[in-house]
Amino acid sequence: MTEPDSPVTTLPLRRSKPRKPVLGMVLSILAGSLLGACSGQVPPPSAAPASEETPNASIEYANWETTEPGAYDDYNLRANLLQRGHKVYLKYCVGCHGEYGDGAGVAAVRLITKPRDFTQGIYKFRSTDSGSLPLEQDLYRTITRGLSRVSMPAFPLMPENEKLAVIEYIKTFYPRWEEEKDDRRIVAIPQPPEDLVDDHRQLRGRVVYLQMGCSSCHGFDGRGAGATRTEYTDSWGNPQKPFDFTRGSLKGGNAPEDIYRTFHTGLRSIMPSFGGDTLAAVTADGLAAVTANIEAMEAAELEGVLEDFPADGNSVFGEMGESQRQELAERNSWDLVSYILALRTPTTTAAAVLGVEKSRG
Ligand code: HEC
Ligand code: HEC
């Protein structure tokens, strides 16, 4: 925030603190050429600033200096975009995410959930699998909607061109973005079923929830009771608590698709991902192992939906075909979404607490 409104004259691609002041650099070049002039020699190449210290060296257009004049256009467009992104960043983001994108902005010390450190390329809210970088549209969604329950603000009114520019800019904090972006694997999200809100589905979702071990972190009641794990340190070394499903808005969004996405992709480092066949592995056999911890009355209720599930592990992974297993995993996923939505009773969601629900209904 040192020079918020002054025009940006160099490319804003500094990824680490500058080692040498520019003035020193200029003087050393001058001194070099003076010396060269005195002794009648051309200054040695080492007198020139190291190429990584020239302002635009970190742009990935390796051969831009030697390409045809017309081909400069792309380079100029990108440079302009990044300059605009830098300005947006200095105006709205630097106070939390820091000048170097490492999450060490001046406000960070006061925040319990720390601002993201962009230099490591680790993101929570992705539509890609847990080892991948997010898509640009994921960053777009996060910036537009913000993240509930933490300090990350929403910027719904930010002009489109500023949003795209700041996204391009924050990507540059992670030097391997361009290299790794082609390896991103998107996690497909199917259409939610029409009967998502359905008692039978919710009951089956409860079975899925218990067998998948969601309860070990989120509790048997979805608000933490009986959870065996309660405290975490995330990838960035900060403490984090599992979400209480009965209150408040979800960070990744409240729509059924958002919840589906969250447990399929995981939230990198704390909340695991449940991808592939994992969610097919819910069986009548497996429920016995988890009902020991719930009340007899509830256990009896869950018995009622058991005939909808395969008998045991062998019927899922031995007898069942690939596509049938995939279908089952998808059904179980939507059942789980249905159950989680049911936990979010109308009187405990953020909207209800803020009185939004009433005016809508
Ligand atoms: C008041 C502080 C604050 C400001 C201002 C702020 N952020 Fe954040 N931001 C956060 C916090 C805190 C998190 C981490 C949330 C978490 O881990 O749950 C975050 C996370 C993010 C993430 C990562 C989401 C993910 O998937 O992991 C992105 C992207 C992001 N911010 C972009 C921006 C941009 C762009 C701006 C400026 C337009 C901005 N933020 C301004 C506090 C802030
Ligand atoms: C190892 C512990 C752990 C397990 C197991 C776990 N979660 Fe989580 N979950 C977390 C933590 C921690 C958070 C909070 C992350 C945050 O706020 O950044 C979370 C958050 C969530 C959220 C809210 C995300 C948001 O947008 O705010 C959902 C939905 C969720 N979990 C679903 C599930 C489901 C469904 C399962 C089982 C299939 C599950 N979780 C299993 C630890 C866990």
Radius of gyration for the chain, computed over Cα atoms and rounded to the nearest angstrom: 27
Substitution candidate for ligand 2 out of 126, 152, 236, 243 with most atoms within 8 A of CB: 243
Q: Does the pLDDT at position 56 exceed 50? A: no
Higher pLDDT pick, 78 / 323 = 323
The rounded distance, in Å, linking the Cα atoms of 300 and 291 is 9
Residue minimizing CA distance to atom 8 of ligand 2: 271
CB of 116 shorter than 6 A to ligand 1: yes
Tokens of 303: 């018995």
Query: How many A from CA of 243 to the centre of ligand 2?
Result: 6
Atom of ligand 1 nearest to the CA of 108: 2
Give the total residue count for the chain: 361
The rounded distance, in Å, linking the Cα atoms of 260 and 257 is 5
The rounded distance, in Å, linking the Cα atoms of 1 and 87 is 10
348 — pLDDT class (breaks 50, 70, 90)? low
Predicted local distance difference test score (pLDDT) of residue 66? 57
Of 257, 282, 144, nearest to 204 by C-alpha is 282
Contact between residue 280 and residue 316 where contact means Cβ atoms under 8 Å apart? yes
Predicted local distance difference test score (pLDDT) of residue 231? 79
Of 64-73, 200-209, 217-226, 307-316, where does mean pLDDT reach its minimum? 64-73
Residue minimizing CA distance to atom 14 of ligand 2: 242
349 — pLDDT class (breaks 50, 70, 90)? low
The rounded distance, in Å, linking the Cα atoms of 65 and 46 is 20
pLDDT digits (tens, 9 = 90+) for 3-50: 344 333 334 444 444 444 444 444 444 443 433 333 333 333 333 344
Predicted local distance difference test score (pLDDT) of residue 63? 55
Predicted local distance difference test score (pLDDT) of residue 189? 93
Predicted local distance difference test score (pLDDT) of residue 110? 92
Query: How many A from CA of 151 to the centre of ligand 1?
Result: 8
Of 70-74, 115-119, 321-325, where does mean pLDDT reach its minimum? 70-74
Predicted local distance difference test score (pLDDT) of residue 300? 87
Residue minimizing CA distance to atom 34 of ligand 1: 93
The rounded distance, in Å, linking the Cα atoms of 266 and 278 is 13
pLDDT digits (tens, 9 = 90+) for 217-255: 999 889 888 888 877 888 888 888 888 998 888 999 889
Of 93, 96, 126, nearest to 112 by C-alpha is 96
**Residues lining ligand 2, Cβ inside 6 A:** 124, 212-214, 216-218, 229, 232, 240, 242-243, 250-252, 259, 262-263, 267, 270-272, 274, 336, 340
